[in-house]
Structures are given as C-alpha cells and as structure tokens.
Amino acid sequence: MITYRLLGGLLLGGMALAALGGCGASEPDKAFKYKMIVEVETPQGLCSGSSVRELHFRSGGKGSSWVPSLGQNRPRVKLRGEAVAIDLPNGRTLFALLTGADGDVDYAARIADRSGLWSVKNPRPTNEPIELWPNAPDTERQKNTSPVPMLVTLGDVSDPTSVERVDPDNLEASFGKGYRLKAITVQVTDDEVTTGIEKRLGWLLDENRKRFDPNLPPQGIPLGNFSGLFSTELF
C-alpha cells in the first residue's frame, strides 16, 4: 500500500523530471510555402514568372526566432525551391536568383520574415501579397538589406559564363527599349514547390561547368556554385 508520504515523493520527483526534460527543448518542426512573382513590362505587353519555395525549420528553443542566428539554440532552416524565370518576347530570359541583390546568400530563406509576410511569432492568416518592388515594406528586419533578389540574364543559356547582372532600375540596358521591371511580390501559397530549372540550364547538372573561380569573369556575380543561386535541389 502506497503511503501519502511516498505518493507525495513520487509526484515531486515526476515533476522535477518533467521540468528537466522540458529545459531547452526545441519546438516542433514547422514549414510553409511562399510564391515569388516577378512582372516585367515589355513592348509586346506584360510578362511574368513565378516560383514556389518551401521553408522547413525547427526553432532552436521556446520563443526563439526561426531566422538563422548564432548560438547554442541556433535554429535549423532548410529552403527548397529555385529561381524565378521570366521568358521575354525578345527570346531572352530574366532570372530572379535565390540570392539577394546585395549578395545575401540566405535571401530566399530570410525574405518572408524580413518583409513581414510570415514568421513564427507573427503568422499572417491571409494570402495577401506583399510588394517587394517598387514599394518594399518598411520593417525593422528589412533595414540595411536588399528587398529584392539578384537579377541576371544569360547571353547564351547554354554558356554559364555569359551570365550578366541586370539592374532592376534599368532593364532597358540589358534587354532594349520598352523593358521595365513592374513588380516583385511574395505571398503565402499551398502550391507545389517549383522544380525543373535544369531543363532550361542543362549545365547546372555538370559539376565542372557550374563551379567557377570568383576571380574570373563574369564580375559582380557571387560565383562558386551556380546551382546554389538557381536551385536548392542540384547540389
């Protein structure tokens, strides 16, 4: 027969173990998807392209942000997706890369939080789009960072060394008169993650062709491994 004294000791011991077990425990995995839409005005009318990315992450501890950070409780974040491709009527293609215009390699993973689209602490219950261009949201996390992705095009889609930067303020310099970046927006979505960019850029599957010396042309592009700029699925 269990005495009240013994029962009380068991209960206290159980509570202590439960407290220890919960100390520093990570929150469960979370995931959401967002779509980036890029619109370009051309002499032949409006052209657009989009790409769906998925963020899968585990928070480093109760109350911590999912945004990558330093420290013992560093969250683990995995991005799946690829660049946005916008086919233009002149036969060229504009790509909005996974990296930011300022060279931030984590841009595609950070932009949802920085723009205020979605976060663990403040989830948006709506699919209302948020405009990154031309009117970027003025949020605290957005300060000192680029609200837009790095834009590039290729003179020859079969030659990765023909890649060149595209100025979002001056598409005419790359594509000719009448080309203008109209809008870049992001929104929460349930659509499937976009894949298959390697069908456009076959060299992404060639390890020897997608890796470059950053000291060689083209200049101004964060080189090293092009697959990380165009897709997360081709490492």
Q: Which residue has the higher pLDDT, 223 or 2?
A: 223
Q: What does the pLDDT read at residue 132?
A: 94
Residue 23 binned pLDDT confidence (cut-offs 50, 70, 90): very low
- The number of CA neighbours under 13 Å toward the Cβ of 137 is 18
pLDDT in tens, 181-219: 999 999 999 999 999 999 999 888 876 666 655 555 455
pLDDT at 100 over 80: yes
- Give the other-Cβ count within 10 Å of 121's Cβ: 10
pTM comes to: 0.78
What residue spans define the domains of the chain? 25-230
CA 133/CA 147 separation, integer angstroms: 8
- Which neighbouring-strand residues pair with 144? none
Q: Is 4 or 128 the better-scoring residue by pLDDT?
A: 128
What's the confidence (pLDDT) of residue 17?
A: 35
Tokens of 153: 């095009």
Task: Using CB atoms within 10 Å of the CB of residue 10, give its burial: 0 to 12 exposed, 13 to 18 middle, 19+ buried.
Answer: exposed
Q: By the 8 A CB rule, do 96 and 149 touch?
A: yes
- Render pLDDT for 132-175 as a digit per residue (tens, 0 to 9): 999 887 765 666 678 999 999 999 998 887 888 999 999 999 99
The secondary structure of 123-179 as a DSSP string is ---S---EEEESS----GGGTTS-SSEEEEEESSTT-GGGEEE--TT-THHHH-TT-
Q: Minimum mean pLDDT among 17-21, 115-119, 125-129, 156-160: which range? A: 17-21
Residue scoring higher pLDDT (24 or 197):
197
Q: Is the pLDDT of residue 58 over 70?
A: no
Task: Determine what percent of the chain is predicted with pLDDT higher than 90.
Answer: 42
Q: Single out the residue of 92, 114, 97 nearest to residue 43, CA to CA.
A: 92
